Chain A
């Protein structure tokens, strides 16, 4: 297994002292050094669509900002190599990110998956230059947003779900031609949620599209993450490790603010790895037993203390391996 540290540890759209400065290149210069110092030589970058507001900043947040600062993804890889990072193993693209950009771009929902394909294709090209292996896709926007757009019309929601699958196959073909993997990630507030995950995977071509189980999102959606890891570990191209303590008591998943629940006593969704209550010792042993040798994306999404969070990623991963070996000795 290969530990891949996710840049998703940084919430670029949050508030507080210094939050504005997360768009500065110097901030990412130092952060990149920290990932290498914590022993990670491979990273995952969640990429948002190229829009004017993010393209001019210094964060590696979209291909346009990377081209603005480094000339090209290849130029950015050279920069990473100098800092001790060998490659960008995984790029994440998200239908919710694209949906969020519709306010600025004015693109209609009818053209959503045409534009999504272009967004994915642009990142496939970047991934090749980054010498990466996998495009990780969250395939639909949030349920709450879609309900609003489609005015709770279940038929249109279902049609959109099917369109997402068609789009994934098309992106999968592009990935295959480029000799990279396409993996679908579940998020608890998208249509790729809980009991709908396996239904979605039945709609896509298994030769083109694989599933990357994401345990925090499975747990929040009351899906059996042990079952899904056991079922997919043997054929997965990548898996995600994410942690949570969040219980969705107010059904935030179907609101238009699912990642930032506005009501209830529980409003924090993501926790640093090892600080929630997902059983990673179990998941690690399942992956070992299945001889999974692909990338494991370690994502302490939206960490509240990013330098500490990066060190916690390393501590978390080291402990998993130690614990696994110890458990084997006991057996």
Chain B
């Protein structure tokens, strides 16, 4: 641990929604169905898969908080349960600011985010990762006032996070109302003292941005990452701005494990080295049809390709 500048944490959303703390009876899930459901429904095993693959941190989706509390009683209990299985830190939580372009929605967003912040703080987290507005379809393009409101909302949540010892970071989806044409402008409208950036490499590349140039330019703001690959760089507006763009109608896969697509992670890691990046780096693999394979392929890529460049 001490000889590394960066540690890896894995966003758990590739599994879906995990409802059980621990399954106690294999036969109940096997006999009569003869499938593998027993292996994929409880935190006990899923946490051990991450730890077994060498990942010491995890991130959560805000939507998981109610089911985690239902299963464990509290986020603190969940944290202790995870630690016993080899997860040293619950580093982050993803949330969203749908409707933030309209100031009238801000009080409800702040109330919602306070729940997320409290939950993240309770389990010893670091970073609230936020989709800054709703989907582009039905919301974008944002006018100056709308963009300003989105930025103000982010600034306020940044200050709310700071009160709990957390940080907030922008996570810009390729289908978000904040998009290609105002991406950097939006970042610059937010308060650098309170708002950081979580570079989701695939999302930003699909949006049409050069991730290397972006990181090199904004490395002082990019404190967090969601590392994932894509084969679909610079998707046209009509693909990104359509209804429900995140889920392709015909099932085309947007996101791949690093090394499975076209992004140049070797150059990105050289930049991380140049800027002496330190801290947790998140891996996100939403949309994989086979989480375990993706987790193991990712770890192997880190070990054989990324670590030799910078670790």
Number of A interface residues in the complex (CB < 8 A): 45
How far is A15 from B40 in the complex, measured between Cα atoms in Å? 6
B18, B25, B32, B35: which contacts A15 (Cβ < 8 A)?
B18
User: Are B243 and A275 in touch, CB under 8 angstroms?
Assistant: no
User: Are B16 and A20 in touch, CB under 8 angstroms?
Assistant: yes
Q: How far is the CB of A144 from chain B (nearest CB, A)?
A: 9
Q: Say yes or no: A17-B291 contact (C-beta < 8 A), given A56-B135, A267-B25, A275-B32.
A: yes
How far is A20 from B254 in the complex, measured between Cα atoms in Å? 13
Q: Say yes or no: A262-B247 contact (C-beta < 8 A), given A17-B291, A53-B63, A305-B33.
A: no
User: Are B65 and A20 in touch, CB under 8 angstroms?
Assistant: no
Q: Say yes or no: A15-B15 contact (C-beta < 8 A), given A20-B286, A267-B23, A267-B24.
A: yes
Q: How far is the CB of B116 from chain A (nearest CB, A)?
A: 10
B35, B39, B247: which contacts A25 (Cβ < 8 A)?
B247
How far is A103 from B288 in the complex, measured between Cα atoms in Å? 27
Q: How far is the CB of A11 from chain B (nearest CB, A)?
A: 9
A14, A257, A305: which contacts B41 (Cβ < 8 A)?
A14
Interface: B96 (CB within 8 A): yes
User: Are B16 and A16 in touch, CB under 8 angstroms?
Assistant: yes
Q: Say yes or no: A20-B13 contact (C-beta < 8 A), given A14-B41, A52-B134, A56-B135.
A: yes
Interface size class, chain B = 35 or more
**Interface 1/0s, chain B 281-311, versus A by CB < 8 A?**
0000011111110000000000000000000
**Interface 1/0s, chain B 5-27, versus A by CB < 8 A?**
00000000111111111111100
Interface: A311 (CB within 8 A): no
Minimum CB distance partner of A17 in chain B: B290
Interface: A26 (CB within 8 A): yes
How far is A91 from B244 in the complex, measured between Cα atoms in Å? 23
Q: Say yes or no: A103-B115 contact (C-beta < 8 A), given A15-B18, A15-B41.
A: yes
Using Cβ atoms and an 8 Å threshold, which residues of chain A touch B67?
13, 257
Interface: A137 (CB within 8 A): no
User: Are A68 and B244 in touch, CB under 8 angstroms?
Assistant: yes
Q: How far is the CB of B160 from chain A (nearest CB, A)?
A: 15
Using Cβ atoms and an 8 Å threshold, which residues of chain B touch A52?
96, 98, 134
Using Cβ atoms and an 8 Å threshold, which residues of chain A touch B108?
105-106
User: Are A304 and B17 in touch, CB under 8 angstroms?
Assistant: no
Q: Say yes or no: A24-B248 contact (C-beta < 8 A), given A15-B17, A16-B15.
A: yes
A21, A58, A69, A264: which contacts B24 (Cβ < 8 A)?
A264
Minimum CB distance partner of B246 in chain A: A56
**Interface 1/0s, chain B 41-61, versus A by CB < 8 A?**
100001000000000000000
Interface: B66 (CB within 8 A): yes
How far is A2 from B97 in the complex, measured between Cα atoms in Å? 45
Minimum CB distance partner of B42 in chain A: A15
Interface: A207 (CB within 8 A): no
User: Are B287 and A20 in touch, CB under 8 angstroms?
Assistant: yes
Interface: A31 (CB within 8 A): no
Using Cβ atoms and an 8 Å threshold, which residues of chain A touch B66?
100, 103
**Interface 1/0s, chain A 14-47, versus B by CB < 8 A?**
1111111111111100000000000000000000
Using Cβ atoms and an 8 Å threshold, which residues of chain B touch A17?
40, 289-292
User: Are B29 and A268 in touch, CB under 8 angstroms?
Assistant: yes
User: Are B112 and A58 in touch, CB under 8 angstroms?
Assistant: no
User: Are A257 and B71 in touch, CB under 8 angstroms?
Assistant: yes
How far is A266 from B24 in the complex, measured between Cα atoms in Å? 8
Q: Say yes or no: A304-B37 contact (C-beta < 8 A), given A15-B16, A24-B247.
A: yes
Using Cβ atoms and an 8 Å threshold, which residues of chain B touch A58?
244, 247, 249
B18, B22, B249, B289: which contacts A21 (Cβ < 8 A)?
B289
Using Cβ atoms and an 8 Å threshold, which residues of chain B touch A324?
none
User: Are A57 and B20 in touch, CB under 8 angstroms?
Assistant: no
How far is A181 from B244 in the complex, measured between Cα atoms in Å? 33
Interface: A128 (CB within 8 A): no
How far is A257 from B29 in the complex, measured between Cα atoms in Å? 18
**Interface 1/0s, chain B 104-122, versus A by CB < 8 A?**
0000100110010000000
The contact sample of 11 A-B pairs, CB cut-off 8 A, is: A14-B17, A14-B19, A16-B16, A16-B291, A17-B291, A18-B289, A19-B16, A20-B288, A52-B134, A68-B243, A308-B33
Interface residues of chain B, those whose CB is within 8 Å of chain A, are 13-25, 28-29, 32-33, 35-37, 39-41, 46, 63, 65-67, 69-71, 96, 98, 108, 111-112, 115, 134-135, 137, 243-244, 246-251, 286-292
